[in-house]
Chain A
Amino acid sequence: MSKKLTIEQVAQLEGYAKAIRSSIVSMVTEAQSGHPGGSLSATDILTTLYFAEMNIDPKDPQKIDRDRLVLSKGHAAPVLYATLAERGFFPKEELLTLRKINSRLQGHPSMKDVPGVDMSTGSLGQGLSVASGMALAARLDGSAHRVFTILGDGELEEGMVWEGVMFAAHYKLDNLTAFVDFNGLQIDGPVSEVLSPLPIPEKWQAFNWNVIQIDGHDINAIYDAIQQAKTVKGKPTVIVATTIKGKGVCQMENIADWHGKAPSREQCELFLGQLNDLEVGV
């Protein structure tokens, strides 16, 4: 039997996710630009990875045998920064410097600037290949650490993704787990209307990946899928996580326009109030 989270652990993780969501809304508002929608949709995945799964040390961010995360959908930088700050990699106050001149917190993640960021990303389609290289290195070194990457569903429209999908399966990178943050929306509208990447699970299956489908806001499901991936040998795993863009802020949920728009200060107050009212552990 693989490990399970206790009810207390789940409640604690939901608490972290709530705090991270509030940070996302605050920092994007302060920056008056950025990508809140896809940050909020990926929050529960990053929370579970950084608080319940990954072997990392905020005091030693470059630790050689650490698990790694490549945020291939780099525009979701706010959720990565908020998670790293919540986890203690740098002070939370710094989050309000997002996208400002001289800040370490670039609009898209820069590994040379921010402790805990394992790869610079932002130009879509490139993260899976990089994560594959990291997974290959781990195998060459005989190290048991694992590599995670998070892709957007719209990102699957990038041809390079499929080069990476082929590569990871061909080299049987079973220490690699990819997430697809399947929120169904991209800048110009629903992914199914802009240029449909559907059906997603079947495509990855056809490329010889182990495919798991979950509700991407169910902490237990996320955690269980990660554990299941570890038991699969000879294949990389993709976790297709159905999510809601803007999750947690009802005015933002499922609205493509919130892909890359900052709330006004008044909206921010309202959204933070909503997030504050979210119940955890229910």
Chain B
Amino acid sequence: MSFINYSSREINCKIVYYGPGLCGKTTNLQFIYKKTKPEQKGKLISLATETERTLFFDFLPLALGDIRGFKVRFHLYTVPGQVFYAASRKLILKGVDGVIFVADSQIERMDANIESLEDLRINLAEQGYAVEKLPYAVQYNKRDLPSVAPLEEMNKILNVNGVQWFEAVAPTGVGVFETLKSVAKQVLLELKKHY
């Protein structure tokens, strides 16, 4: 649910990074934070445990620039990936405009990816959304690790609808902005359809 303010000429959109625990959602945000100019970003807020596992969410506001005289702001959120934080994940999806599903490419994490994707579907459906209708992209993260699943197989299992997908190595930034741009673009084009 975007917030369009004609008075201050701003558009605010919410993009959520979803995926299994330790797949690199927070790392995506950290890289974006690192590479964005100071005037374009707010604070990166992490509600994390002492061992740096996301407890509730990470939040990064980005103001990348103007479109047609409107300041475009993206609010990026991550969900806590660990299975038992299900209730928190639901809350963060509220009012979402676009979703990035970050998958862990390691073969041994494939089950976790599938479980998380299913969880995403259920949580979105509870709020009347469907992955198929939402601005959405898939990111295959950790492509630099030795035991990764082939892309073809990952696409077959995690991307049955054939949405845009990206290979990524989040700590070094490979694929990070490409994924964000893909979903941001879809979100803005969605606005175009409605207004």
Partners in one complex: no
Query: Which residues of B line the A interface, CB within 8 A?
Result: none
